[in-house]
Amino acid sequence: MTRELFWLALTTILTGILWIPYTLDRIKVRGIAGTLANPSRDAKPQDEWANRMMFSHDNAVENLVIFAVLVLILNAADYSTKWTVLACAVFFWSRLAHVIVYTFGLPVLRTVCFLVGFAAQAVLALAIFKAM
């Protein structure tokens, strides 16, 4: 496994478990029956941190799609450099930081974390052109 694929696996695992805390909050707020019921406008609202974490999870899924494709293209091209590995590591840590600061409601830091992750994706995209 390449180091880029390692970071992709970690990012995928992180994204895959982000639903757990806000679902536990939903159980706390609505109970098991309310959590298992179909969505309803009359449902009790979740805690604000849980809503923010859910939005962060949505954003993580959207960005995972782009990140994964970039990493897989580089893997298929058999192209790996210290910069592509660093970009993948930076992307993972920026996504972890993003979910933390978004959950705690720190808007400016949230945007900074997102932009750092976007820059890491840009490095990977540029590397694809270099690999051709």
pLDDT of residue 39: 85
Give the confidence band of 97 by pLDDT, cuts at 50, 70, 90.
Answer: very high
Q: What is the pLDDT of residues 36-89, one digit of tens each?
A: 999 888 888 999 999 999 999 999 999 999 999 999 999 999 999 999 999 999
- Percent residues over pLDDT 90 in the chain: 92
pLDDT of residue 120: 98
What confidence score (pLDDT) does residue 132 get?
82
Q: Taking Cα atoms as reference points, which of 79, 98, 101, 100 lies closest to residue 90?
A: 98
What one-character-per-residue DSSP string does 96-126 give? HHHHHHHHTT-HHHHHHHHHHHHHHHHHHHH
Domains in the chain, number: 1
**CATH number reported for the structural domain that contains residue 102 in this entry:** 1.20.120.550
Measured CA to CA in angstroms, residue 6 lies from 24, 45, 75, 124 at distances of 29, 37, 11, 15
Entry pTM:
0.93
pLDDT confidence of residue 73: 97
pLDDT for residue 40 = 87
The residue range of the domain holding 59 is: 3-131
| Alpha helices by DSSP H, 18-45 | 19-36
pLDDT band at 99 (very low <50, low <70, confident <90, very high): very high
